[in-house]
Chains A and B, each alone.
Chain A
Amino acid sequence: MKALHFLAIFIIPLGLIIAAVPQNKTKPYKLTADQLLDEVNTRTQYIAPETVADMIVKKDPSYRLIDVRGANDFEKFSLPGAINIPVTDLLSDKYTDLLNQDVKMNIFYSNGTITANEAWMVTRQLGYKNNFVLEGGLNYWFDAILNAQKPASTSPDEEFAKYDFRVGAGKALGGGGAVAVQSGQSQGAASAKPALQAAPKKKKASGGC
């Protein structure tokens, strides 16, 4: 009983103080040019194609792929589940809720990375969070995931692990292993999902008892 009283005497005033003071929101909402340059230099906006492939195969609902190319290109080929927000319409009101939110990870992609980076930079400067760029764009996606090249036999084990993952992901996502998918039309691929052992994703440690 004594311990409970002691705890109550100590902790209730602290609780009252924290309830009464306003929250510390001194951090500027928008980025300064220095901060943006720092983010660009550290390449924080990039998501590796392996990570994206892993999320598509696992049907992870925590991300959203956004195709920032024009509507024509989007109709010709797009990644599974992607939505189309052409960079020219980026600031349109109807997309604000999609871009400025803290629920999902938005991943911009374009053929290379230039258009996607333009979209990322504009949204980042507006102070939006959770927007990212597919590293290497669709061009690298084709090379890395849908048409993975076997590493040299002298390569380290990690290279082979990466290659195995890419081949598995490529099959699951409609590429044909060694078949070149230059046209981008990959409808006829096997729909059966092969068992894919994804490389363990590095996650931040979480608590628990």
Chain B
Amino acid sequence: MGPLSVNEIISENTNLFLAFIIGIGFGFVLEQSGFSSSRKLAGVFYGYDTVVLKVFFTAAITAMLGLLFFSLFGWIDLNMVYVNPTYLTSAIIGGIIMGAGFIIGGYCPGTSFCGASIGKIDAIVFIGGLFIGVLIFGLGYNIWDGMYMAKFLGSPKISQTLGLSDGVFAFILIIVALSMFWLAEWAEKKFPREEY
């Protein structure tokens, strides 16, 4: 049956419209959970607030379990779900740049727009930086296209690489997530910060 738009059960435009509705909901939840505060995101790095880690990891394992059960019931064909292809070099370099941006700016691209929508000046400055980065990348594309496209691996899944079934890997990831949550709560007690 699914994915709905790939199998043309709903049109491309309906798909975009649904994405719009879900996007509004996503932004609302981000704002209501306090993710529009740059201190909350930087807190993951310093250990005084790990809500961001817990929320996103919970979202990831919930979605993972949902998709695996949907596949089990025959509601979705996982082979038709788009997986971002892996370019190893740019994934590593991009990860470092993005991680550094998280700590320095206190936002990820999504939460910066949340922050800007409630008028936070640091978020607006962050978005300015984001566009400068996009501009530099676009204009200098010829300089780094070799690096950008290097080490192409296709769309491998970690479970395939490890030789495990998707279900077993999912279970291991759930255990890893829960241990990380426990570790995160320990860190919050260890590095508390009054009033931030």
Contact = CB atoms under 8 A, between A and B. Distances in A.
B178 interface: yes
Contacts of A15: 65, 170-171, 174-175
Given A15-B65, A27-B77, A206 B82 contact: yes
A152 interface: no
| Majority secondary structure of chain A interface residues (helix, strand, loop or mixed) | loop
Given A14-B65, A19-B171, A206-B82, A59 B166 contact: no
Contacts of A8: 178
A18 B185 contact: no
Nearest to B72: A24
Contact of B56 (A16, A61, A209): A209
B168 A19 contact: yes
A132 B169 CA distance: 32
A7 B146 contact: no
A18 B72 contact: yes
A1 interface: yes
A23 B79 CA distance: 12
A57 to B, nearest CB: 9
Contacts of A12: 174-175, 178
Interface in A50-105: 58-62, 102-104
Contacts of B108: 208-209
Nearest to A101: B154
A32 to B, nearest CB: 16
Contacts of B128: none
A8 B182 CA distance: 11
Given A4-B178, A205-B19, A195 B142 contact: yes
Interface of A: 1, 4, 7-8, 11-12, 14-16, 18-24, 26-27, 58-62, 102-104, 193, 195, 204-206, 208-209
